[in-house]
Amino acid sequence: MVTFIVLGIGYGLLMQKSGYGPLWSLASGLIIFSGTVQFVSVSMLGGGSVIMAAITALMVAARHIFFSISMIGRYSSEGRRKWYLFYALCDETYAMLSRNETPEGVDLSAYRLLVTMFDQGSWLLGSFLGGWIGTLLNFDSTGIDFAMTALFVTVFIDQWKSAENHIPAVLGVAATLACRLIFGRELFLIPAMVIIIAVLTVMRGRIEQKEGDTDA
Amino acid sequence: MPDYRHALIIIVVMGLMTLATRILPVLIFGRGEKVPDYIMYLGRVVPYTAMGLLIVYCLRDVQILDAPHALPELAALAAVCLTHLWKHNTILSVVTGTVLYMILVQIVF
């Protein structure tokens, strides 16, 4: 939760320095509600292709497919409430609610709703605060966008340590770098994603075999 | 002044795509149908490729051939990696790298 507030402040500041105030950060947090997608969106708000933004969001948010599928069984008893739970299912919430550990004497359904709302609430609060702080403090913000790069590098390192198979991680960097050099800064993202999905599909046997080794 | 209409369109479109990754699996597989192995496989491995893609995307405008030859970026990236491997604290790593980068681009280079 503290992480969400601090990262939210970073996002709100970045938005503010790009010309979008705290209400924009709040709206984005309600409409998108994914830290990674929102951070990437900042550089696309000012211009650029809508299709590219759509495909980028799809690729970056792909992990939610996995989260949602693995919560279908658990959330099947939640009635209409489950639509909110799925809409707001983020990494933190998934990590807390997929462990099947509920505090003693707490209603499971209420617990799920509260955890989900607290996570989204702290992200919204942080990003609003960040935008607000940005309007109050007048400092030279040149270079503050590096916060996004730094955040992705920390996630990359965490993923690297938890994965037994590093082919996907290396593929992501190598394919994108190659496409940036070949296709130039405007066009490289889409060919990079096509190549990544194609290589993942072709190498599925090898990658899954390695995943399987770790289960054994 | 930023083009607010375009910004709103981008947020809504990216929001719809993000929502699709969360809701479509439930609509399609919510009644207990078996999820195709290929979809599960992509859901598992694409996130590992996406972070590398995002890092390169963030650094897309870095010019290695011209001065200062990406030195601020390389120094700040090294700081993030070392801090993170040492303390395993996301906020500390992000703040350290960003502050160092801001000092480098504003004062040093």
Least Cα distance to A200 among A179, A169, A155 occurs for A169
Distance (Å, whole) CA A181 – CA A192: 11
Helices assigned H by DSSP within chain B: 4-29, 37-58, 71-87, 90-103
Is residue A44 classed as helix, strand or coil in its secondary structure?
helix
Is the pLDDT at B4 greater than 80? The verdict is yes
Tokens of A138: 């007048």
B-chain CB neighbours of A209 within 8 Å are none
Q: Assign B108 a pLDDT band (cuts: 50, 70, 90).
A: confident
Look up residue A101 and give its amino acid. E
Q: Which residues of A touch B26 (CB under 8 A)?
A: 68, 72, 82, 86
Check: CB of residue A124 under 8 Å from CB of residue A5: no
Asked if residue A155 is part of any domain, the answer here is: no
The verdict on residue A214 lying in a domain is yes
Whether B77 sits inside 8 A of A204 (CB atoms) is no
Amino acid symbol at A145: D
- What's the rounded Cα separation, in Å, for the pair B106 and B109? 7
B-contacting residues in A 115-134 (Cβ below 8 Å)? none
Per-residue confidence band for B32, with pLDDT thresholds at 50, 70 and 90: confident
pLDDT values of chain A reduced to their tens digit, one per residue, 216 residues: 788 999 999 999 999 999 999 999 999 999 999 999 999 999 999 888 999 999 999 989 988 988 898 888 889 889 899 999 999 999 889 888 887 777 788 888 999 999 999 999 999 999 999 999 998 988 888 888 898 899 999 999 999 998 888 999 999 999 999 999 999 988 898 899 999 999 999 999 888 876 655 443
Asked if residue B39 has pLDDT above 80, the reply is yes
Out of B22, B29, B40, closest to residue A87 by CB: B22
Find residues 35-94 of chain A whose CB sits inside 8 Å of chain B: 36-37, 40-41, 44-48, 50, 53-69, 72, 76, 82-83, 86-87, 89
How many domains is chain A built from?
2
- pLDDT attached to residue A138: 82
Please indicate, yes or no, if residue A6 is contained in any of the structural domains: no
Which tens digits make up the pLDDT trace of B59-99? 998 988 887 889 999 999 999 999 999 999 999 999 999 99
Q: Are A61 and B21 in contact (CB under 8 A)?
A: yes
**Within-domain flag for B23:** no
Q: Which pLDDT belongs to residue A142?
A: 87
Interface residue A100 vs chain B (CB under 8 A): no
Tokens of A43: 């550089």
For A180, the closest of B21, B29, B56 (CB atoms) is B56
- Closest by CA position to A98, among listed A61, A117, A127, A72: A72
Number of structural domains (chain B) is: 1
Q: Which domain holds residue B78?
A: 63-109
Confidence of residue B19 (pLDDT cuts 50, 70, 90): very high
Domain carrying residue A87: 64-121
